[in-house]
């Protein structure tokens, strides 16, 4: 049985995610500098724009997948014995899924 996102796939996930994050951060800085958000109402309107919501969701998807690959590899390499490795990787996976759900809740509640 082949583990998910190992080898070349894991490398590609990290590199593609890193490139997206590298391009997205200057865009965010430019966007917030060009049109400063000064109130909660403006912030909510800015976030609820469908393009910005999707771009932020992709940013957090890239961030969480980058974290998953990197931290999973560290745990697989250095956490011993095997039950500690399995428990740590499982805890990491559930934690990142919960964080992703929380981000989606925040982003898509802006539309409500």
The 10s digit of each residue's pLDDT in 60-98 is 999 999 999 999 999 999 999 999 999 999 999 999 999
Expressed in angstroms, the distance from the first to the final Cα of the chain is 43
Residue 12 has pLDDT above 80, yes or no: yes
pTM of the model: 0.86
Report all structural domains of the chain as residue ranges with CATH numbers, in order of start: 8-109 (1.20.1300.10)
Is 103 in contact with 57 (CB distance < 8 Å)? yes
Closest residue by Cα to residue 28 from 63, 78, 65: 63
**Distance of alpha carbon 74 from alpha carbon 51, whole angstroms:** 35
């Amino acid at each position: 049985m082949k583990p998910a996102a190992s080898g070349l796939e894991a490398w590609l996930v990290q590199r593609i995610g890193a490139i997206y994050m590298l391009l997205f951060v200057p865009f965010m800085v430019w966007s917030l500098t060009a049109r400063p958000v000064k109130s909660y109402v403006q912030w909510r309107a800015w976030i609820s724009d469908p393009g910005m919501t999707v771009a932020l969701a992709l940013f957090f998807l890239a961030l969480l997948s980058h974290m998953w690959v990197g931290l999973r590899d560290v745990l697989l390499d250095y956490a011993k014995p095997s039950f500690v490795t399995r428990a740590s990787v499982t805890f990491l996976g559930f934690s990142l899924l919960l964080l992703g759900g929380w981000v989606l809740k925040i982003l898509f509640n802006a539309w409500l």
